[in-house]
Homo-oligomer: A and B are copies of this chain.
Amino acid sequence: MTDATARAAALLREHRESIDRLDAILVYTLAERFKHTQAVGRLKAEHGLPPSDPAREAQQIARLEGLARQADLDPEFARKFLAFIISEVIRHHERHQSSGAHAGAATQDQTQET
């Protein structure tokens, strides 16, 4: 192994350690985010609030795209990321619906809150 290759291997290790730390941030932040969407789902079911809010979702998409541009992240990726999160929130709600006795239509409709 040449000196240059050894330096590259050391740099690679440092990048991977950073990636691992960033992944921990991502996992814990996603966990916190799901706690909030779950609480929102319960709130809407308990208080008969409108289950879907297209204006809110459009606002979220526009905001994420803006944040992505500021962070030098592909805005298309930001859109796909939100779609991925939405699909996971839907899966959560569906699982709760199938396991709950009286979840019914209200729970199904909460899937719009992301």
A residues whose Cβ falls under 8 Å from a Cβ of B: 4-5, 8-9, 11-12, 15-16, 18-20, 22-37, 39-40, 43-44, 46-49, 56, 60, 63-64, 67-68, 71-74, 77-78, 80-82, 84, 88, 92
**A43 and B26 in contact (CB under 8 A), knowing A20-B63, A31-B68, A31-B72?**
no
B88 touches A43 (CB 8 A): no
Determine which of B30, B49, B81 lies in contact with A9 in the assembled complex, contact meaning CB atoms within 8 Å.
B49
Number of copies of this chain that the complex holds? 2
Asked if A77 and B88 sit within 8 Å, CB to CB, the answer is: yes
CB-nearest residue of chain B to A34: B73
Report whether A30 and B81 are in contact in the complex, using a CB–CB cutoff of 8 Å. Answer: yes
